[in-house]
Amino acid sequence: MIIDKLQRKSSSQPDMTRRGFLISMAATGALFGFPLAARAAMDPEVADGVPIDAQGRPFEPTLWYWIDTEGQVNVNIIRAEMGQHVGTAIARILADELEVDWKNVHITHVDTDEKWGTMVTGGSWSVWQSWPVYRKAGAAGRTALIDAAATRWGISPEQCTAREGMVSGAGNRISYGELVEAGLSRSFTEDELEQLPLKPHGDLRLVGKDVKALDIAGKTNGEAIYGLDAKIDGMVYGVPLLPPTRLGSTVESVDDSEAGVIKGYVKTLTIEDPSDTVPGWVIVIGESLMAAKWAADKVKVSWNAGDTANVSEADIQAHSRSLIEDDSTGAILDTGNTETGEVFAEASDTLEAEYTTSTVLHFQLEPVNATALRNADGVWEIHTGNQWQSLILPTLSKALGEDSSNIIMRTYMLGGGFGRRLNGDYAVPAALASKALDGKPVKLVLFREQDAQFDSPRSPSVQKLRMAFDSDRNITAMEHHAAAGWPTGVMVPSFMPKGVNDVAYDPFAIDGADHWYSVGAHRVRAISNDLANKTFRPGWLRSVGPGWTNFALESFMDETAHKLGKDPLTFRLEHLTAEGINAGSSPNSVGGAKRQAAVLQRLKEIADPARSDLEDDTAIGIATTFGQSRDMPTWTAAAVQVHVDRSSGNVDVQKIWLVLDCGTIVDPDGAHAQCEGAALWGLSMALHEGTEIENGNVKARNLNTYTPLRMIDTPELEIDFIDSQEVPVGLGEPGTTPIAPAIANAIFNAVGARVRHLPISAEDVLQAI
């Protein structure tokens, strides 16, 4: 381990902990030989970029934090910070259980190390996964400190209480700092951690309350360090020339004869990539970023293109349709009763519809970038913002031909992630360019058009839904077939479970279709589009599968309600009966469909009054979803008010109501902000965002042709949370999922036009009218 090597080098200071050594080295700017500024992102709270220095010998009850002799608490955060204040949320979970004054809490976003386990920030998992871990860690510290105080005073721990960094008992009072200074070395096994008593929900004093975020200053005064800010002594810059296809291209020839006229041009590298992450890449090196960019404009490369050079979006969608029609393809999800064939054969009536979505890009504010070098100790350093360090490290190991223990990823702020930086593929060419230059620091930057071309977009999709009815017009069966490119299947197939037919499936390409409605026999089939997988690198994009599966599901449920002549909200409530597989279970889905029904009922209360005073061609549509997955449901319901211009087909979204039950709310302000952003992201994808595959690449590559939601088109938002003491679940993405179907349903209510494609264009609306 790299840190172990460093510890051995510090043997002249036997009383210093490993963390103390790292901090002292950082204070001199000597850590691994790179500038102190590069450490600033690890502690976005600290305005001057200097990580908090532990006073004396700190006490570390677990690896997740330490307490020093001044009573300061530093919490280690393995989640990426990209504007969501994840460090503040996680730190308050620990601080509440530890019973420490919030003003003494600090955070450090740590570098990669095996001891942290899986480092990933995605799937709306961060708070959900951190809740039990950091509560137990906080309880461990509180228990150790109380026990130490009780021993000191000769009383039982039951006679002591902890509050805001102080232990009191039998008329005595002592601070955490004093107890640490006296010497504490207690640790806890996993079994002991499991047995520790946690505070009752009613005793929580930081969770659910408004507190100051720990990382505001650096974000607002320009001192926060992002990947694009990385600066290493002696580094050069790289700008890539991308091949004609994402996969399968090879370089035939390179002519850099004209690049020499550019001042600062260094050389052009043809990248050989053993990991096959960036086949066919050429990287132009310059002494400055613009020198590399201007020289790249003059370098001529001839490629042998891969076999997807002529693939179009229409080809991919046609292939999805053929796969859906082939009943032998795909994985069947466990929905309790998947045998629908005979039920449909005996049905008195059926309903069927197809829904499609276009390719969607991430277009995060900060284009992807990475800085790589081999430091003086022979360790490879990768400086970049990343959402899933544990995923890309093995790929970097393969690309560099180095053991992963000899590679470390430095943590930086992310200028937007939205799932793009879950795939750290952009770190690979930077590392290979540095290797080609004998380990010299190389800062690789993709400009906006390259960032779009190299994106891991959300795959286009085709979905076919069917409903069967008996002679009394009751639902007897439902089928949902969905075909798209599979990001998890391409990048981390080990994360894929198997369906009831023993075929693996990508949960992030089908979650949402396995809904909580009671519909009789229910068959969900997830199908991987192999042509999409070969043409581009499908990626996880905010809300992943539920962003498009729920568009189809909730539009179809609306169509079903109208076919049966029922009010769409009442119809949904009738089928959210919390029976069988939909009853829910502990700890994450307690209440099951009843909680989804509750957010829908609350939505009716707050949105229905607006229906009484609507203008012509204006209406409200609803949708309800459960956020990310059945394993971590965030019960969500949305109503959207739209006005449709019959002459142009333009849709004006006037207001969004959003109701969520996310269990215990850890950070109220952050929760509200996350849901606002998610709802607007859903609106953006519903009406504004989308491109297509043309000649094997995305067609739109800049914001003149790819047009996300603009501020001027932002509607009024009303967000309401159900009060709950259940396990906190995800909030980064669920608010996205009901918006598109609610808009589509509102359009139908306003002008009778049913649209079944995303993004919804004015032309689509006119045609439907």
| Tens of pLDDT, residues 77-120 | 999 999 999 999 999 999 999 999 999 999 999 999 999 999 99
Encoding tokens for residue 198?
């946690």
Total residues found in the chain within this entry: 769
Residue with tokens 């994840």: 86
How sure is the predictor about 1, in pLDDT bands with cuts at 50, 70 and 90? Answer: very low
Predicted confidence at residue 52, as pLDDT, reads 74
pLDDT in tens, 172-207: 999 999 999 999 989 888 899 999 999 999 999 999
Confidence (pLDDT) at 4: 31
Strand order in the sheet with 59-62: 59-62, 65-67, 73-77, 105-109
Is the confidence at residue 19, as pLDDT, over 70?
Answer: no
The verdict on whether omega for the bond into residue 587 sits within 30 degrees of 0, i.e. cis, is yes
| Widest pairwise Cα distance in the chain | 85
| Structure-model confidence comparison of residues 40 and 509, the more confident one | 509
- Average pLDDT taken over every residue of the chain: 93
Cα-based distances in Å from 148 to 17, 173, 178, 188, 437: 21, 12, 11, 14, 55
Q: Which two tokens stand for residue 706?
A: 């790819």
Mean pLDDT of 741-756: 98
**Other Cβ atoms closer than 10 A to 635:** 30
Cis peptide before 244 (omega within 30 of 0): no
Considering only residues 283 and 37, tell me which one the structure prediction assigns the higher pLDDT. 283
Question: Which stretches of 64-163 are assigned E, i.e. beta strand?
Answer: 65-67, 73-77, 105-109, 160-163
Buried b (16+ CB within 10 A) or exposed e, 677-692: bbbbbbbbbbbbbbbe
Contact 391, 425 (CB under 8 A): no
pTM: 0.93
pLDDT (mean) for 44-51: 46
Task: Provide the residue type at 307 as one letter.
Answer: D
Q: What average pLDDT does range 568-573 have in this prediction?
A: 98
Q: What is the pLDDT of residue 26?
A: 34
Query: Going by C-beta distance under 8 Å and a sequence separation of 6 or more, which residues neighbour residue 215?
Result: 44, 45, 81, 85, 87, 88, 107, 224
The percentage of the chain sitting over the pLDDT mark of 90, rounded to a whole number, equals 90
pLDDT band at 494 (very low <50, low <70, confident <90, very high): very high
Mean pLDDT for the stretch of residues 398-404: 97
Q: Compute the distance between CA of residue 508 and CA of residue 726 in angstroms, rounded to an integer.
A: 24
Cα separation, 380 vs 494, in Å, equals 26
Return the structure tokens found at 629.
């997955």
Least confident of 13-22, 249-258, 318-327, 387-396: 13-22
Are 404 and 395 in contact, with CB atoms under 8 Å apart? Answer: no
Q: What pLDDT, on a 0 to 100 scale, did the predictor assign at position 13?
A: 33
Single out the residue of 29, 8, 4, 23 nearest to residue 66, CA to CA: 23
Beta bridge partners of 757: 356
